Amino acid sequence: MEITSAEFVISNTDVEKCPTGTLPEYAFIGRSNVGKSSLINMLTARKGLAMTSATPGKTMLINHFLINQNWFLVDLPGYGYARRGVKGQDQIRTIIEDYILEREQMTNLFLLIDSRLEPQKIDIEFMEWLGENDVPFSIVFTKTDKLKGGKMRGNINMYLRKLRLQWEELPPYFISSAETRLGRDEILSYIENINNQLNSK
Ligand code: GTP
Ligand code: MG
């Protein structure tokens, strides 16, 4: 799919204030600093569209970006950033959970996982929570440019093995890099397919 337009629409802490209407949306979630905002910029090929930072905790709000005038990408705050403090983390958690559970337009959630790390408890538990709540999601392994090919494959296979212990069926997964644009075509085709299915209903 070609991205012909991508524009920032609105930032919110409140799911009630997100854009009205029925356009489908695709949201990005994961630990702070995993690369959510960078992935949105990579997918849209617009460098400064979503704000990124080397310091975790950059995105604090629910950010809607209108793509090709007919669907949204949604950048969410990351979870698990300890320096926010317990209260700060609880606030972010509430924003994220309310959005995920209440936003009917949310068609698919992309859960981002840092390909360099061993499976992290916080991500595994987050996935369990998604499963319990029947939230449709897929996984994106990020920052693969930082690993050599063999190591990258090894890490991802280990991750999938761990998931198979818990999940009968694995969610779709993508291997990405915001630096090399690896995974861009696959993720955009995946979104396009879902959009087409929704349009043919
Ligand atoms: P929060 O908004 O704080 O939750 O973080 P985020 O998940 O949106 O991460 P962000 O996109 O701001 O990226 C965090 C840091 O990781 C930045 O310094 C990015 O340049 C870097 N980064 C993100 N994706 C990649 C990638 O694929 N490869 C490399 N090498 N660096 C990346
Ligand atoms: Mg961000």
Q: Specify the CATH number for 6-199; select among 3.40.50.2300, 3.40.50.300, 3.40.1390.10, 3.40.30.10.
A: 3.40.50.300
Domain ranges in the chain?
6-199
The residue behind tokens 């992935």 is 39
How far is it, in rounded angstroms, from Cα 43 to Cα 2?
10
Mean pLDDT, rounded, for 157-167: 95
Ligand number nearest to the C-alpha of 182? 1
List, for residues 78-110, the tens digit of each pLDDT value. Answer: 998 878 888 888 899 999 999 999 999 999 999
Q: Give pTM, 2 decimals.
A: 0.96
Sheet of 62-67, strand order? 6-12, 62-67, 71-75, 25-30, 106-114, 137-142, 173-175
Helices (H), 36-139: 36-44, 85-102, 121-132
Q: Which residues line ligand 1 (CB under 6 A)?
A: 32-38, 52-54, 56-59, 77-78, 142-143, 145-146, 177-179
Assigned token pair, 20: 């009205």
Q: Mean of the per-residue pLDDT values for the chain?
A: 95
* Å from CA of 105 to ligand 2 middle: 21
pLDDT confidence of residue 30: 97
pLDDT, tens digit (0-9, with 9 covering 90-100), for 118-155: 999 999 999 999 999 999 999 999 999 999 989 999 99
Residue of 137, 66, 43, 68 lying closest to 96 (CA atoms): 137
